[in-house]
Structures are given as C-alpha cells and as structure tokens.
Amino acid sequence: MEFTKMHGLGNDFIIVEAASFQEAPKYQANTQQLCNRHFGIGADGLIIIGKDEDQNIFMRIYNSDGSEAEMCGNGIRCVALYARRYGLVDKDHFSVKTLAGPRFPEIYQEGVEEWVRVDMGEPELELQKIPVSGHGSNVAIPLPGLEQDFVFTTVSMGNPHCIIYVDDTNSVPLSEWGPQIETNEMFPDKINVEFVKVINEGELEAVVWERGAGITLACGTGACAILVASVLNGKSQRKAIVRLPGGELVIEWNEKDNRVYMSGPAVEVFRGTMDIE
C-alpha cells in the first residue's frame, strides 16, 4: 500500500488513494495497525481519498481506534493539498464529498506556507440532530454523572462537539475527563470534547479530546464548533483565532450566509509503502 503522511497543526493522518467512495471501507480493518505509533506508521487517523462522480474528490476518515468519523477539519486541509499536488484536481478551489455532506476547500499562499480555507457549512444547533439527549437550548446544558460539575454548549459541524469553558486549559486533566465525557449517556454517538479558555473576543485557547482518537494536538471541526459556541455565549466575535496545542486556526462564522469558514496550514511529512493483509 502506498501512503502519504500529512498533518494539520500536528493532527496527523495517513492519506491513501482508493478507486471510489464505496471502496474505502476495505481499509477500515487495517486502521488500528496503520495508526499504531510503535508497530505501524503512526497517526491520529487514516483518510481514504480519490476522484468522485458527484464532487471533484471524496474523503472518508477512520479514527485511530477504527471507528469512522463524518468529517475532519484538519484532515480536509491535508486532503486538499494532496489532491492538488498529486493531480486529483487541477484547480485551487474545488469540492469534496464527505459523510457530513460536500465541503469546499480553497488553497492559497499565506507568507511562505500553503494554507487552505474551507467552507465547513452551517453549524447544527438542534440537540436531536447533533445528537445530544434532551430538549431545549444547546447552550449552558448541565452535564451529570461526573465528580466535577460542568455545563457545556454543544454544536455539530458534521460531527458532534461538547464545549466547556475553563479558566486554565493547562490544569485540565484531559486524559481523565475526556473519555468520561466522550462516552457519557447524554451523547448517543459519543462526542468530541473541547475545553476552552477565552483570552479575549478575538482569541480563544483550547485543548481537545477527540472521539475515537483521544488527545490530539488540534481539531479543525472542534475549532469551528468552539467559535460558534463562543459567539452564542457572548464570549467572542464572529471571527477569531483559535489556539490549539499544535498551532492556530482562523475561524469565521459568517453572519450573511450562516456558514463557518476555517483557514489554516497543512504539511506533507513523508511518503512510503507498507505491506498490509
């Protein structure tokens, strides 16, 4: 199997080409082997891409535990650069089929780096569609069943997110709280968890526990959800920098079209081949 290793702010992926969207699941059984950092290539996820009949290209992403995610913000930036660099597309602005619906990346130059701006679509705020158990508002929801009392805001960017505000992200025991919240009974499909510190209206800082992957250095859909949640809670402007352990993303929730736009870098690390069963 030929592969390319890429990352977006340290959130790293193995990129593999397949003939079709329907063929991608045949790689799913190998995800844990490939993503293992000691006995495999090592990554937060495996992304299968290729040319598509409906959109310009497709992507399907499998978390390091083998589960499939609907969408991945850092991953789609990597996919966009790969597709342009290796001839799957011949333009800088194109469409990508995902399980969360089509997404629209655009590659541009930001200083010496190649950045990708992605139209991430409209945020979903209705509890039943995220999905989260309960009825009413998606803001300031009590989170039962834990030693620590939390209230959270929930947003879906094609995948579900739980946003919790804290005074200091460095003091969050992420490996303890993350899995407890991810698998809480309020979240029927499990959930991604972001602990957020508000620096000011234009800067937010966060640490991430990703559903199916654990602690990661960044989460693109999470950064989008954080910005939406922060606007809803009156904590930020509609455009802000979201600082993650692996770097910064620029996120905008456009008031005119209600769509969220994510901008940030992606980097190719190396290419190689690996024997799989």
Catalytic residue annotation: 72, 219
Could you tell me which of 234, 211, 235, 81 has the C-alpha nearest to residue 157?
Answer: 211
Distance from C-alpha of 175 to C-alpha of 178, rounded to nearest angstrom: 6
Cis (ω within 30 of 0) for the bond into 131? yes
In the chain the beta strands, taken as DSSP E runs, fall at: 2-8, 11-17, 45-51, 57-63, 68-69, 96-97, 104-110, 113-119, 141-143, 150-156, 160-165, 192-200, 203-210, 214-216, 239-244, 247-253, 260-265, 267-273
For residues 163 and 225, the answer to whether their CB atoms sit within 8 Å is yes
Beta bridge partners of 15: 4, 47
- Alpha-helical (H) ranges within the chain are 31-35, 73-85, 174-182, 220-232
Taking residue 248's Cβ as centre, other Cβ atoms within 10 Å add up to: 17
- Nearest-CA neighbor of 80 among 111, 72, 122, 159? 72
Q: Give the pair of three-digit tokens for residue 226.
A: 């954080």
Burial 125-158 (b: 16+ CB within 10 A, else e): bebeebbbeeeeebbebebeeeeeebebbbbbbb
